[in-house]
């Protein structure tokens, strides 16, 4: 199979997996504390990642790779899961998906910073316009100042963009599934004790949807999705395959409506389309 085509296929599969992450997290935080959810999903995924490394003989990272792996872990193992879990205590998953429209731009921005590229001024123009679209949406909801959930989502986008860009660069040397597996394994000595410490005293009040959400974000969002996503970025390039993230809000809206019964307002769709247009323009002139 052509290398570029393989990159697009893997990237698309990764994007599909990630599209259900926020609805699944929304379901999970209905029964679990956000901190426990973050460390539990990372611990479960790390144990699975360690098993993959042992069974498949994954390439060992060099000493120079440890700093990059730490950045990946802080961005996508800790930062994005924790911040989105905190945000989804205050906003719906449909609301949070509006912010996902900024993720391709964040990824591209960190790729520019890490790669030392010099984007043209129009890149920053579209970047600012996308940010204004999100701010305008928040103000249109009658919010005088950013709500806690909105601020957490913005921080989550920054953390995730950094983790995506750093992981994509590292995956060219180690391989896509090896990068996320090693990042998870490196975080396990911290995550597992925290999971045991923050474990609920009783499981009686945890409903089935919360368990299903925990299972999904642990196995699919935290591990399997990254196997496809990092491989896609490594084969097809961050700037090209990363554009597939533009489709993620639409798949997420459909899942939020179908699985959680959340309302998807015309304003949410309109601002998402506007943000996608701005991100596409930024990508064009990066």
Query: What pLDDT, in 10s, does the model give residues 38-73?
Result: 999 999 999 999 999 999 887 788 888 999 999 999
* pLDDT at residue 81, as a whole number: 92
3-state secondary structure of 137: helix
Residue 115: per-residue pLDDT: 60
Angstrom CA distances, 248 to 69, 88, 180, 259, stand at 25, 17, 20, 16
Give dist(CA 191, CA 210) in Å, integer.
20
- pTM (predicted TM-score): 0.83
Q: What is the pLDDT of residue 280?
A: 78
pLDDT, one tens digit for every residue, the chain (286 residues): 677 788 889 988 998 999 888 889 989 999 999 999 999 999 999 999 999 999 988 778 888 899 999 999 999 999 999 999 999 888 887 778 778 878 877 887 887 777 665 767 887 788 778 777 876 776 676 555 557 788 899 999 999 999 988 988 888 888 888 999 999 999 999 999 999 999 998 888 899 999 999 999 999 999 999 999 988 888 877 766 777 777 787 787 777 788 778 777 788 788 888 888 877 777 677 5
Whose CA is closest to 84, among 103, 109, 105? 103
pLDDT value of position 116: 64
The answer for residues whose C-beta is within 8 angstroms of residue 150's C-beta and 6 or more apart is: 87, 91, 99, 138, 143
What is the reported pLDDT for 156?
94
The three-state DSSP-derived secondary structure of 196-258 is HHCCCCCCCCCCHHHHHHHHHHHHHHHHHHHHHHHHHHHHHCHHHHHHHHHHHHHHHHHHHHH
């Amino acid at each position: 199979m052509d290398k570029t085509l393989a990159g697009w296929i893997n990237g698309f599969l990764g994007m599909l997996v990630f599209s259900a992450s926020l609805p699944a997290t929304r379901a999970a935080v209905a029964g679990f504390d956000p901190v426990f959810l973050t460390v539990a999903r990372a611990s479960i995924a790390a144990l699975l990642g360690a098993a993959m490394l042992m069974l498949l003989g994954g390439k060992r990272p060099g000493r120079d790779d440890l700093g990059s792996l730490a950045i990946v872990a802080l961005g996508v193992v800790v930062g994005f899961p924790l911040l989105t879990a905190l945000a989804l205590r205050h906003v719906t998953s449909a609301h949070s998906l509006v912010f996902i429209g900024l993720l391709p731009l964040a990824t591209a921005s960190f790729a520019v910073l890490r790669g030392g590229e010099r984007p043209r001024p129009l890149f920053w123009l579209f970047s600012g316009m996308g940010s204004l679209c999100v701010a305008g949406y928040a103000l249109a909801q009658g919010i005088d100042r950013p709500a806690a959930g909105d601020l957490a989502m913005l921080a989550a986008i920054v953390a995730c963009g950094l983790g995506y860009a750093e992981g994509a660069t590292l995956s060219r040397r180690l391989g896509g599934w090896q990068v996320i597996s090693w990042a998870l394994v490196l975080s396990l000595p911290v995550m597992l004790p925290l999971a045991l410490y923050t474990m609920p005293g009783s499981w009686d009040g945890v409903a089935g949807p919360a368990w299903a959400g925990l299972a999904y974000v642990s196995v699919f969002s935290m591990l399997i999705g990254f196997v496809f996503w990092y491989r896609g970025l490594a084969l097809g390039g961050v700037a090209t395959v990363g554009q597939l993230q533009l489709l993620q809000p639409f798949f997420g809206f459909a899942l939020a409506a179908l699985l959680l019964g959340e309302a998807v307002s015309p304003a949410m769709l309109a601002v998402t389309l506007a943000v996608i247009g701005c991100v596409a323009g930024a990508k064009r002139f990066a």
